[in-house]
């Protein structure tokens, strides 16, 4: 039976009203969502504390449990802000001897910091770090930006002040300005670290200065957590009750740290011997490579394919692996059946929850590719062998003579370099006659 | 007067709106391309003010300074100028459509397009004034939606024609409509997730980025599946056969561009040490190849969305034609006022 026309009209009208009501509700919800996501509650950019390191101090270790209260943590954050400013407005610590901070220029830091943009069409671009680096290296320079998990190797965490490819001697020595600049300009082949050749020199300079600034800030934070704050649970750092003596002590410590950056110089590289890279030089290099003095083959493998010892972790991972009791020799990621039941895994999970990236063992470089991430010039390779790479590629100790039991003389280092450079053109090396096991290594 | 004569008379009224709708759609695609380039080169804040450009009226900004200025300013100001062109064209489309004797729903649709373009311009401006990446993300999501909407308008305004073939089975058309609609929804979700990845806030935890990448990959797989189904369903429907083939081609290109985008931005983390060429390859930040590949990925994504919408709307028109017992019409504009 057909319904009367008036009734149908009423139904249609009601439906239209309902539709409009629903549409308004949707629009209102969308507007609210936009407001929540954008304007409302938007806070200026802030540095965050190194939660992984803080937790590593909380975790039981040989020193005993050390816990920093929330108030102490807040004090550390406040002191750091007072010393270094914020990501939008960086500043330099007010040291009694400001010349130790000559390696940092505030104008360059200001150019690299803050939001991306430019103030006039002819002026330089600002916010360079946020534009080019932050998505991998993070706002704190923690190497845990949004994209980090997918990158191999992980982006560098600046906050320990440790850098892999540097020309300075010593594990803890900071790199030189030129070292960092070189990595930025040349990039690191085979990794996600690109070459920034498109940037002009002023922009590169600004970024290098900002990287050093983040590194110094991170080192200061570690120092506050490890050495100063635990003494009195950080109370003396309370900005409301500054004890002048403590303040001076703190600034002196920062000055000491800054001094290491200021004093960083490239190590001397002696000229290669006269017969360098001839057959005898390469043969000598091979002998050293396979032998117990240089120990290269223990990690890179007898074939130099990078198939030697895989039980290696970088310093950033070891930093939090240590407190969990997971050390290099006991961590076996491939033996998942036992690993999943290991209580140490739970400890690791605690660090992951605080922003640590998943533990990955390092893969020694396949030297037959002819690709050297720290630079392919002979001088770069010499420094790699002589100075090592932080704590996981051991440095070649200096020896007085070629017959010394330990260490290498400069000429021998050059011979190892000669052999390494010849590897891409050599047939796969015959395994050395001597079979060595990890336990037999010194 | 026969039904078909009514169509012809109706088409006379729709001729100019249709031409303008096509022009708006064609002008929007380069706008999306340049907009993508703005995000790729992070040039969104290259001009700090809005609606003026460095204090100048947007249209009076010296062209010599614009052309010879820095690249990011060139891109951002160019994006604004193109935006004005699209805005004016949409305004013209609305004015002409409102003056034409076309169905009321068509007039409403065009007004909605005008509202969309104004909202898009406003979002772009607010993004600059508030310096908010979230607004940039929304701006980046609304742009492709507007583009696809205009493509849909082109279809409903198109001249009705006879294919000279038997009408396709209603069941097949209905399936086509459903699958095309689903493909359009998935491709738009893909654009949203892609936009999130491009505008990701630096404070986002790596886990979120990882999840978004996973969703993006799953979406790509779903889209491939939908395109294959569309290809099969559209076999017997002349009106969309070539469009569907074009869609499949676009998706194929898009996959290549997606792989290229990842490689040029983040390298290949797992196999880079096993392949000689990859092991020695150094990424170049801001290189032309990177900018073109990444931006093309964004632009082709919008094109895929517009194509799926186009197929869905055309299928809808076919269904409508079948319902109104006027066979072989591939346009929706035949509904009398």
pLDDT tens track for A301-329: 888 888 887 678 888 888 887 656 555 44
Proportion of chain B above pLDDT 90, given as a percent: 71
* Structural domain contains residue A74: yes
Query: Which residues from chain A sit within 8 angstroms of residue B286, using beta carbons?
Result: 196, 198-199
In a domain, A173, yes or no: yes
Average pLDDT over residues A111-134: 91
pLDDT in tens, B23-35: 999 999 999 999 9
Q: How far is A236 from chain B (nearest CA, A)?
A: 30
Q: What is the pLDDT of residues B59-110, one digit of tens each?
A: 999 999 999 999 999 999 999 999 999 999 999 999 999 999 888 999 999 9
Residue B42 pLDDT level (bands cut at 50, 70, 90): very high
Q: Which residue has the tokens 């801001």?
A: B286
Which DSSP string corresponds to A190-230? Answer: TSS--B-TTS-HHHHHHHHHHHHHHHHHHHHHHHIIIIIGG
Which stretch of DSSP H or E encloses residue B99? helix B71-99
Which has the closest alpha carbon to A100: A253, A234, A227, A225?
A: A253
Banded pLDDT at A293 (limits 50, 70, 90): confident
Q: Which of A213-217, A224-228, B55-59 has the lowest mean pLDDT?
A: A224-228
10 Å CB burial of residue B308 (0-12, 13-18, 19+) is buried
Distance of CA A356 to the CA centre of its chain: 12
Q: Is the pLDDT of residue B323 over 90?
A: no
* Cα B34 off chain centre by: 13
**Contact list, B213 vs chain A (CB under 8 Å):** 150
- Other CB atoms within 10 Å distance of the CB of residue B134: 18
Residue A212 in any domain: the answer is yes
Comparing alpha-carbon positions, the chain B residue that sits nearest to A365 is B273
Q: Collapsing DSSP states into helix, strand and coil, what is residue A398?
A: strand
Note whether A115 contacts B131, CB cutoff 8 Å.
Answer: yes
pLDDT at residue A401 in the model: 83
- How many Cβ pairs within 8 Å bridge chains A and B? 135
pLDDT score for A383: 93
Best B217, B273, B275, B278 member to test A by mutation, with max A CBs in 10 Å, is B273
Query: Looking at the domain assignment, is residue A357 inside a domain?
Result: no
Nearest to B214, CA basis, from B195, B226, B197:
B197
Could A146 and B42 be called an inter-chain contact, meaning their C-beta atoms sit closer than 8 Å?
Answer: no
What is the reported pLDDT for B334? Answer: 47
In a domain, A405, yes or no: yes
Q: What is the mean pLDDT of chain B?
A: 88
pLDDT band at A141 (very low <50, low <70, confident <90, very high): very high
> From the list B69, B209, B282, which residue is nearest A189 (CB)?
B282
Instruction: Give the pLDDT confidence score for residue B63 in this predicted structure.
Output: 93
Higher pLDDT pick, B334 / A393: A393
Supply the pLDDT for residue A262: 93
Are B202 and A139 a contacting pair at CB < 8 A?
yes
| Domain shared by A252 and A295, yes or no | no
> Measured between alpha carbons, how far is A66 from A50 in angstroms, rounded to an integer?
16
Q: Specify whether A125 is located in the same domain as A192.
A: yes
Number of Cβ within 10 Å of residue A349's Cβ equals: 12
Q: Are residues A196 and A152 in the same domain?
A: yes
For residue B227, how far is the Cα from the chain centroid? Answer: 17
Residue A195 phi, psi (nearest 5): -85, 135
Count of structural domains within chain A: 2
> 3-state DSSP call for residue A393?
strand
Q: At what angle do helices A279-290 and A410-422 cross, to 10 degrees?
A: 100
User: Are residue A230 and residue A307 in the same domain, yes or no?
Assistant: no
Q: What is the mean pLDDT of residues A112-127?
A: 89
A193 and A227, same structural domain?
A: yes
Question: Average pLDDT of A143-169?
Answer: 92
Chain A residue closest in CA terms to B41: A131
Confirm if B39 and B302 have CB atoms less than 8 A apart: no
**pLDDT-derived band at A240, boundaries 50, 70, 90:** low
Tokens of A325: 């009791």
Q: What integer best gives the mean pLDDT of chain A?
A: 81
User: Residue A243 is encoded by which pair of tokens?
Assistant: 């004890």
Average pLDDT rounded to a whole number, residues B31-44: 95
CB–CB contact B283 A148 (8 Å) = no
CA distance A407 to chain B (A): 30
Spatial separation of the C-alpha atoms in residues A309 and A437, rounded to whole Å: 10
Q: The domain that contains A283 carries what CATH number?
A: 1.10.760.10
What is residue B159's predicted lDDT score, i.e. its pLDDT?
76
The answer to whether residue B277 scores a pLDDT higher than 80 is no
The closest of A292, A296, A299 to A416, measured between CA atoms, is A296
Residue A11, pLDDT > 90, answer: no
Distance in angstroms (rounded) separating the CA atoms of residues B31 and B81:
9
> Does residue A172 surpass a pLDDT of 70?
yes
pLDDT at residue B10 tops 90: no
Least confident stretch, A80-84, A199-203, A341-345: A341-345
Q: What is the dihedral of CA A328, A331, A332, A336, to 10 degrees?
A: -160
% of chain B beyond a pLDDT of 70: 88
Q: Residue A338 pLDDT more than 90?
A: no
CA atoms within 13 A on the CB side of A96: 8
* A138 shares a domain with A64: yes
| Nearest partner of A352 among B100, B34, B88, B207, judged by Cα | B207
B114 vs A121, more confident: B114
Q: What is the pLDDT of residues B133-159, one digit of tens each?
A: 899 999 999 999 999 999 999 999 887
Pairwise pLDDT comparison (B172 vs A4), residue with the higher score: B172
Interface test with A, best of B53, B203, B282, B286 (most A CBs within 10 A): B282
Looking at the domain assignment, is residue A6 inside a domain?
no
Whether A105 and A228 map to the same domain: the answer is: yes
Same domain? A152 vs A255: yes
Hey, are the CB atoms on B279 and A130 less than 8 Å from each other?
A: no
Considering only CA atoms, which of A259, A99, A93 is closest in space to residue A172? Answer: A259
Using an 8 Å CB-CB cutoff, list chain B residues near A196: 285-286
**In a shared domain, residues A193 and A307:** no
Does the ipTM exceed 0.85? yes
Contact status, residue A370 vs residue A423, Cβ threshold 8 Å: yes
The span from the CA of A430 to the CA of B133, in Å, is 57
Quote the tokens at residue B90.
Answer: 């949409």
The answer to whether residue A389 scores a pLDDT higher than 60 is: yes
Structural domain includes residue A325: no
C-beta separation of B181 from B316 below 8 A: no
Nearest CA in chain B to A306: B273
Q: Which residues of A touch B204 (CB under 8 A)?
A: 146
Higher model confidence: residue B118 or residue B271? B118
Distance from CA of A267 to the nearest CA of B (A): 26
Facing residues of B56 across strands?
B53
Instruction: For B209, name the nearest residue in chain A, comparing CA atoms only.
Output: A146
Same domain, A258 and A283: no
Domain-embedded: residue A319: no
pLDDT at A2 over 70: no
Report pLDDT digits (tens) over B186-242: 999 999 999 999 999 888 888 899 999 999 999 999 999 999 999 999 988 888 889
Whether A419 and A301 map to the same domain: the answer is: yes
B268 or A64, greater pLDDT: B268
Domain residue limits at A416: 279-312+362-440
* Mean of pLDDT values over A48-61: 79
- Are residues A254 and A289 located together in one domain of the fold? no
């Amino acid at each position: 039976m057909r319904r009367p026309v008036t009734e149908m009209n009423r139904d249609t009208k009601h439906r239209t009203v309902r539709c409009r009501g629903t549409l308004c509700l949707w629009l209102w919800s969308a507007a609210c969502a936009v407001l929540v996501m954008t304007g409302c509650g938007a806070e200026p950019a802030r540095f965050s504390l190194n939660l992984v390191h803080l937790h590593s101090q909380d975790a039981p270790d040989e020193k005993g449990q050390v816990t920093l209260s929330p108030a102490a943590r807040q004090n550390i954050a406040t002191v750091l802000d007072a010393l270094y400013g914020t990501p939008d407005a960086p500043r330099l610590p007010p040291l009694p001897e400001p010349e130790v901070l000559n390696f940092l220029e505030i104008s360059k830091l200001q150019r690299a910091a803050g939001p991306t943009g430019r103030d006039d069409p002819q002026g330089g671009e600002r916010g360079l770090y946020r534009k080019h680096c932050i998505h991998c290296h993070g706002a704190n320079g923690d190497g845990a930006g949004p994209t980090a998990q997918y990158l191999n190797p992980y982006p560098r965490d600046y906050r320990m002040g440790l850098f892999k490819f540097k020309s300075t001697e010593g594990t803890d020595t900071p790199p030189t300005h030129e070292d960092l600049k070189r990595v930025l300009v040349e990039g690191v082949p085979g990794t996600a670290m690109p070459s920034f050749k498109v940037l002009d020199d002023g922009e590169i300079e600004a970024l290098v200065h900002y990287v050093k600034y983040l590194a110094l800030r991170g080192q200061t934070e570690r120092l506050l957590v490890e050495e100063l704050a635990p003494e009195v649970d950080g109370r003396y750092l309370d900005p409301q009750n500054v004890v002048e003596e403590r303040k001076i002590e703190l600034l002196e410590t920062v000055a000491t740290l800054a001094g290491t950056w200021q004093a960083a110089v490239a190590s001397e590289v002696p000229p290669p011997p006269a017969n360098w890279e001839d057959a005898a030089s390469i043969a000598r290099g091979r002998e050293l490579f396979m032998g117990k003095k240089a120990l290269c083959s223990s990690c890179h493998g007898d074939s130099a394919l990078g198939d030697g010892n895989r039980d290696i972790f970088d310093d950033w991972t070891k930093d939090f692996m240590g407190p969990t009791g997971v050390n290099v020799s006991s961590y076996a990621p491939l033996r998942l059946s036992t690993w999943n039941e290991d209580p140490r895994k739970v400890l690791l999970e605690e660090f992951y929850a605080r922003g640590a990236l998943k533990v990955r063992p390092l893969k020694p470089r396949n030297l037959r590719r002819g690709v050297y991430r720290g630079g392919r010039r002979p001088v770069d390779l010499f420094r790699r062998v002589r100075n090592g790479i932080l704590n996981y590629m051991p440095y070649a100790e200096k020896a007085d003579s070629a017959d010394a039991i330990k260490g290498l003389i400069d000429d021998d280092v050059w011979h190892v370099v000669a052999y390494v450079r010849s590897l891409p053109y050599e047939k796969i090396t015959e395994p050395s006659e001597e079979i060595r096991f990890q336990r037999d290594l010194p | 007067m026969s039904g078909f004569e009514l169509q012809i008379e109706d088409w006379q009224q729709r001729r100019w709106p249709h031409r303008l709708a096509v022009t708006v759609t064609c002008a929007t695609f380069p706008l999306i391309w340049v907009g993508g380039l703005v995000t790729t080169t992070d040039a969104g804040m290259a001009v700090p003010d809005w609606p003026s450009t460095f204090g100048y009226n947007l249209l009076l900004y010296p062209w010599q300074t614009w052309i010879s200025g820095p690249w990011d300013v060139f891109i951002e100001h160019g994006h604004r100028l193109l935006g004005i062109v699209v805005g004016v064209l949409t305004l013209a489309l609305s004015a002409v459509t409102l003056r034409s004797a076309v169905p009321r729903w068509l007039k409403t649709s065009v007004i909605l397009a005008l509202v969309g373009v104004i909202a898009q311009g406003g979002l772009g401006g607010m993004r600059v004034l508030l310096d908010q990446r979230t607004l940039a993300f929304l701006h980046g999501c609304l742009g492709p939606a507007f583009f696809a909407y205009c493509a849909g308008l082109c279809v409903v305004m198109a001249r009705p024609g006879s294919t000279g073939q038997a009408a396709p089975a209603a069941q097949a058309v209905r399936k086509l409509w459903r699958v095309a609609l689903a493909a359009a929804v998935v491709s738009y979700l893909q654009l949203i997730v892609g936009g999130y990845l491009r505008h990701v806030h630096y404070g986002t935890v790596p886990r979120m980025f990882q999840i978004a990448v996973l969703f993006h990959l799953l979406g790509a797989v779903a889209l491939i599946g939908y395109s294959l189904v569309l290809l099969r369903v559209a076999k017997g429907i002349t009106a969309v056969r070539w469009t569907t083939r074009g869609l499949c081609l676009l998706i194929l290109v898009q996959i290549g561009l997606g792989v290229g985008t990842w490689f040029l931005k983040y390298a290949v983390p797992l196999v880079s040490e096993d392949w000689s060429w990859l092991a020695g390859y150094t990424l170049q930040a801001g290189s032309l190849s990177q900018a073109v590949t990444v931006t093309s990925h964004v632009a082709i994504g919008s094109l895929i969305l517009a194509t799926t919408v186009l197929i869905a709307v055309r299928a809808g028109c076919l269904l409508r034609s079948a319902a109104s017992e006027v066979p072989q019409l591939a346009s929706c504009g035949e509904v009398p006022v």
